[in-house]
Structure 1
Amino acid sequence: MSNNNLLGRRNFIKGMGAAAGVAMAAPALAISEKADGVKWDQQVEVLIIGSGFAGLAAAIEATRKGAKDVHIYEKMSYFGGNSAINGGLFAAPDTPMQKTEGVKDSVDTMVADQLAAGRGIADEALLRHVAEHAVEALQMTLDAGSEYHPYLQQLGGHSVARTYQTTVSCGAGITQPLLQECRKLGVHTHNRAKFEGFLVGDKGEVVGVKMRQNYHFGEDQPGEVINIRAKRGVIMATGGFAQNVNLRMAQDPTLTAEVGCTNAPGATGEGMYEMFRLGAIPVHLAHIQSGPWASPDEGGFGYVSNYSIYNFPHSVAIDRLTGKRFMNEIADRKTRADAELNCRDAQGNALPPILITSYKDSKKHPNTKKVIKYNVGWKFDSVEALAKHFDVPLAPLKAQIAEYNEYVKAQNDPQFGKNMTEAKDKYIEAPFTVVRLWPKVHYCQGGVQINTNAEVKDSFTGQAIPGLYAAGEVCGGIHGVSRLGSCSIPECMVMGMTAARSMMKA
């Protein structure tokens, strides 16, 4: 896949308009200040904070648009942020692989799917902007050397198969090539560099930042704070706050430290906090998404998540108390996560449901061997052995599997309305592979409000804060109540590219 040119020619954006453990619960707040009288230690042309999908795409695009001195600052010791450990799933409409597979899709269809998941409060203009330019962002990854499986996947809530996945089945298959491309282009990359606040001009414009050098995450050490002037402005690509337990509990008290999280430890939200202090508009902070494909048997994102995402279309999710299905296995994330959380034993305790797949179908995904090898998934030669292992009532389970196989044959699911297209000819038959499911905090829909130029909006004026741009999960309101899987990478990259173009045109 790496040599494919999805665009036919390079066509940049036009028409601007799973780590284990919980990070510190309350990160120290940055403090912004006036730039009057500040001694500048450094001056750069383009200043980007965060080295995930959004930051890397912004750096590449800024360079292509003529920037000569682009700098990325990353607070962790490694580059890639949370993006490096995500699932490596990239949704785009009307792609060459869709044409090859006979899949009819369009920008309108992708936007409609996302609006449905957003339950009436998603930002249609931003969703459309991302969908219109998703193929361009995908092309950037291919140009950099990313490689994808030679098939598309249909994820939950998507009406058609439109999702590419990296051959390494994680986001590092994109962040590493993009990072190498940045360095080839002469982008300067700095790690252990923690954002400490904005430096603001007389008219409220962002003219620079305070940056702590030699920062060691989670350790009590001083490090030196320097003042960096940003000639063209600052792009905030600092990610979400899913590892900030205090902040997520303020929005949803059920999301305690006992609730697992798929994010990297650095996803604590300081950059978002400081934009709020500067006047940015907070949007949808209470909409925090849990991944319904996660497993209680491993930490972080793990191996099961990608295994489940791939297999949901041709699998059955079973409530172990009843032996019956309890959801549409490819409904949107919130619908499935809520359904899983309702799976309880007779005393009301959590009883993680199971996902049953035919081994002949599951083995096509590379993670199948890994989930079995690391004892977070199981293989059974009979339904009797499966039922005994998980203490599932045998008769209802047998009846449910037989009933579901009739749905596969008829290409119709009257039980839960599942789209059976990707399940065609894939019957639930022995031998089986089985994993347990339980949601983990995965993605923060909330953040700062931006416009389709990736400019951060001011809460008092409704206008853009001069010199300040944002892209990726630090932004809020785009997806509404529930984000569809595989839509974060195109969003991060398109808005990162957009931020760079807006900055270079300003």
Structure 2
Amino acid sequence: MSKVNLLERRNFIKGMGAAAGAAGMAMAAPAMAVSQSANGVKWDKEVEIAIIGSGFAGLAAGIESMRLGAKDVHIFEKMSYFGGNSAINGGLFAAPGTPMQKKEGVNDSVERMVQDQLKAGRGIADEALLRHVAEHAVEALQMTFDAGSEYHPYLQQLGGHSVARTYQTTVSCGAGITQPLLKECRKLGVQTHNRAKFEGFLVNDEGKVEGFKIRQGYYFGEEDTGKLMHIKAKRGVLMATGGFAQNVNLRMAQDPTLTAEVGCTNAPGATGEGMYEMFRLGAIPVHLAHIQSGPWASPDEGGFGYVSNYSIYNFPHSMAVNCLTGERFMNEIADRKTRADAELACRDKQGNPLPPILITSYKDSKKHPNTKKVIKYNVGWKFDSVEELAKHFNVPLKPLKAQIKEYNQYVKSGNDAQFGKNMTKAKGKYIEAPFTVVRLWPKVHYCQGGVQVNTKAEVKDSFTGKPIAGLYAAGEVCGGVHGVSRLGSCSIPECMVMGMTAARTMMKA
């Protein structure tokens, strides 16, 4: 069989960045990176391992590779700050068989976590990858403890999870993990470079990724800034560049409803150039159309905000109500897609969006640190009576009172006859005054699609089905892992485990 020249392949995504009605979005169509032959390249620098991206996956890979004996590991970050989108995520980490589960008497296993995720994936999730991540999730969690991450002293049961298995950082965001991991990377000797934008791969005649181009001194949004450098990577290049939720044109190519007017929880740099370039080399695109919206987001604040973690914590013992009817309309802890679809169906009589509300007893909601913040910043409200609440949101009072009474019966009996909600975490937590209330409306949050990898974090080639030599990927830039819907708190273990896996594979290369 003759050798395949990756650089001569048809660029099937060319033109994907054409305008798609997203005027005004600065990063709607990021400048495309372009790979080229490594022949005759004058290398500016040679490193042992190169990691593109400084989120959970990249940082975990940096630590693991140094622990395994690497001497010269470099992390390159496009933005001026480290941590990428990971730094502003919810800081929620799911793992089976953890010490806190044992302490709380929670019966969990790798198999149970995998089955929960397969169910949410609607039959198209990658079971082998899910199992690999679940089997090593506790190792990744331990890495965060070793680095100094701190978590709340309780577990949460997020939507779609059959048991409580989720830790959350005390700062209620991903920075509680990325900051300690970054510090640990530097302590171990990992070299970190910010404002370093990936500009394409450098590939030899056999199709192996020898290195890459990086624009050092880059200013985000100013595409020609910085100095172009050619970096050779002895053991390989790990792409840990995240998703493309901020690339409006690309997400609209998959789902035309995800216009620039639809909110997004991601950091500005989540634009997908690294993914694009792997496709150019022949990486297999998987599930790009499956873009997840977070059902816990608020229309009253930008980005991830304060309401998201507030809602995630309170959903198990709260009641979501359609403002038009005064009644519940969903299982508050169903998987994300089920809830997001149900929320989007909440409309007024003219068909316009009518964000539903999440009602919680203040005595229960105040246990989460974000409760004070949502009230302080006017993205949540506190009411002393159901009458006051109903008037504020123009909710019909009689059916609302009836719904609260009915829901409280479910709390008492432990059986939700309306939507089959698991009431374990709602035990003894009745909906009663004073209330705290937030509004809900989904925001684009996570891209299930990306490049296909195997359980060694090797990027698979669309022509041969074999790994592309010298190229690895981990985190949200990878596709097909979760299927149709990703369960909350499963991205951090995936990113970290696959980052660690890539390091292990490269160190054996």
Q: TM-score range by the shorter chain?
A: over 0.9
Match of 2:388 in 1: 385
Q: Which residue of 2 aligns with 1:192?
A: 195
Q: Quick one: distance in 1 between partners of 2:107 and 2:460?
A: 36
Pick aligned residue for 2:184 from 171, 181, 186:
181
| Alignment-derived partner of residue 67 in structure 1 | 70
Q: Which residue is 1:136 aligned to?
A: 139
Counterpart in the other structure of 2:467 = 464
Within 5 Å, which residues of 2 pair with 1:493-504? 493-504=496-507
SS in 1 for 2:353: coil
| Corresponding residue number in structure 1 for 2:30 | 27
Name the amino acid aligned to 1:397.
L
Give the match for residue 225 of structure 2: 222
**Residues 46-85 of structure 1 mapped to structure 2, 5 A cutoff:** 46-85=49-88
Corresponding residue SS for 1:407: helix
Partner SS, residue 231 of structure 1? strand
State the secondary structure of the residue aligned to 2:125. Answer: coil
State the distance in 1 between where 2:334 and 2:225 align.
Answer: 48
Gaps of 5+ in 1: 1-20
Q: Aligned AA for 1:380?
A: F
| Match in the other structure for 1:126 | 129
Tell me if 1:208 matches 2:205: no
Amino acid at match of 1:494: V
Letter of the 1:184 partner, please give it: K
Matches for 1:87-166 after TM superposition, within 5 Å: 87-166=90-169
Unpaired runs of 5+ residues, structure 2, are 1-23
Select the residue among 479, 484, 489 that pairs with 1:486.
489
Find the counterpart in structure 2 of residue 233 from structure 1: 236
Q: Is the 8 A contact 1:148 1:165 kept in 2?
A: yes
TM superposition score normalised by structure 2? 0.95
Task: List per-residue Cα deviations over 1:304-353 (Å, max 9, x = no partner).
Answer: 00000000000000000000000000000000000000000000000000
- C-alpha distance in 2, partners of 1:307/1:220? 37
Residue 261 of structure 1 aligns with an amino acid whose one-letter code is C
> What amino acid does structure 1 have at the position aligned with 2:463?
F
Among 443, 446, 449, which residue is 2:446 paired with?
Answer: 443
CA contact (8 A) 2:326 2:399 kept: yes
In 2, Cα distance between equivalents of 1:28 and 1:499: 27
Contact kept? 1:23, 1:243, Cα under 8 Å: no
Q: Does 1:418 align with 2:444?
A: no
Would you say the 8 A contact 2:219–2:225 is kept in 1?
Answer: no
After TM superposition, give the deviation of residue 222 of structure 1 in Å: 3.1
Number of residue equivalences:
486
Distance in 2, Cα, partners of 1:281 & 1:351 = 39
Alpha-carbon distance in 2 for matches of 1:65, 1:163: 28
- Residue identity matched to 1:377: G
For residues 147 and 246 of structure 2, the distance between their equivalents in structure 1, rounded to whole angstroms, comes to 30
Q: Normalising by structure 1, what TM-score?
A: 0.96
Instruction: List structure 1 segments (4+ residues) > 4 angstroms apart after TM superposition.
Output: none
Letter of the 2:278 counterpart: M
Query: Equivalent of 2:361, from 348, 358, 361?
Result: 358
Counterpart amino acid of 1:40? W
Residues 65 and 504, structure 2, Cα contact 8 Å, conserved in 1: yes
Q: Is the 8 A contact 1:22 1:265 kept in 2?
A: no
Q: CA deviation at 1:23?
A: 4.6
RMSD (CA atoms)? 0.7
Residue 221 (structure 1) shift: 3.9
Per-residue CA deviation, residues 350-393 of structure 1 (Å, 9 max, x unaligned), is 00000000000000000000000000000000000000000000
1:273-312 → structure 2 map (5 Å cutoff): 273-312=276-315
Cα pair 1:333 1:485 within 8 Å, conserved = yes
Structure 1 CA distance, aligned partners of 2:26 and 2:478?
A: 21
Q: Offset at 1:220?
A: 4.8
Q: Answer whether contact 1:23 1:268 (CA < 8 A) is retained.
A: no
Give distance in 2, aligned partners of 1:23 and 1:441: 17
Whether contact under 8 Å (2:156, 2:164) holds in the other structure is: yes
**What is the CA distance between 1:201 and its match in structure 2?**
1.2
Q: What does residue 344 of structure 2 align with? A: 341
Confirm or deny: 8 A CA contact 2:381 2:438 kept in the other structure.
Answer: yes
Asked if the contact 2:456/2:501 (under 8 Å) is kept, the reply is yes
2:262 matches 1:259:
yes
State the partner residue of 2:478: 475
Partners of 2:337 and 2:294 lie apart in 1 by: 8
